[in-house]
Amino acid sequence: ILVNNAGILRDRSFAKMTLAEFREVIDVHLIGSVACTKAVWETMREQRFGRIVMTTSSSGLFGSFGQANYSAAKMALVGLMQTLALEGDKYGIKVNCLAPTAATAMTDGLLAQDAMERLSPDFVSPGLPALVGDDAPTRAILCAGAGHFARSNVTLTRGVHVGGGEGAAARVVANWDEISDRTGEIVPDYGFTQMERELASVPAAAGRKVANG
């Protein structure tokens, strides 16, 4: 079992953030997790069993003012989790994300004392066994804080086929509400699901025209 939990903060609005501050956060959160995962990956493949948890954040999932570097790193870990879960599946390796809300050294001085107590890391850690046990899911994003647990998902709406050519951009704008409608949205099993749905939406006549050049 590997839990990638290293992290730092270099909070600053994007306008004032230096590239060095951006890279430093990426290096610790993302590259640090990559390095640790790389160190155990072959062992897990050989033994055909492994559990990896990436520590993501609501800042990455939903955004947070003044944390462009942190948000980018934390959402990158979700993408890393998605692909490693697919690559590790046949080897019994399950990869998940934990998005904790907890009072740590990184939040020291930012929260009131009563909030610090209610957001103790002790209330987050009970979620870990669900992500690393024999019956653990894979590609799950578990949000945890103050004893509350929820799932977050990257979803895809049904969408609308508007075609191409002249007027296509205007049709995207005109159909924006339907494109955004979350009724019937799915959690794709893999990245190519987007392409498969897009190709399936092309009317048969248009598909023959494309095929014939």
CA 142/CA 99 separation, integer angstroms: 6
CA 118/CA 21 separation, integer angstroms: 31
Six-digit token string for 212: 């014939």
Catalytic residue chosen out of the listed positions 37, 68, 69, 70: 70
| Per-residue pLDDT, 116 | 72
CA 56/CA 98 separation, integer angstroms: 6
Cβ atoms within 10 A of the Cβ of 101, count? 18
What's the whole-model pTM score? 0.90
| Per-residue pLDDT, 211 | 47
| Per-residue pLDDT, 104 | 67
| Per-residue pLDDT, 111 | 65
| Per-residue pLDDT, 204 | 77
| Per-residue pLDDT, 106 | 60
| Per-residue pLDDT, 213 | 47
Six-digit token string for 201: 């939406």
CA 156/CA 11 separation, integer angstroms: 31
Look-up of token digits 């493949």: 45
Verify whether residue 91 is a known catalytic residue: no
Residues of the chain where predicted confidence (pLDDT) is lower than 50: 210-213
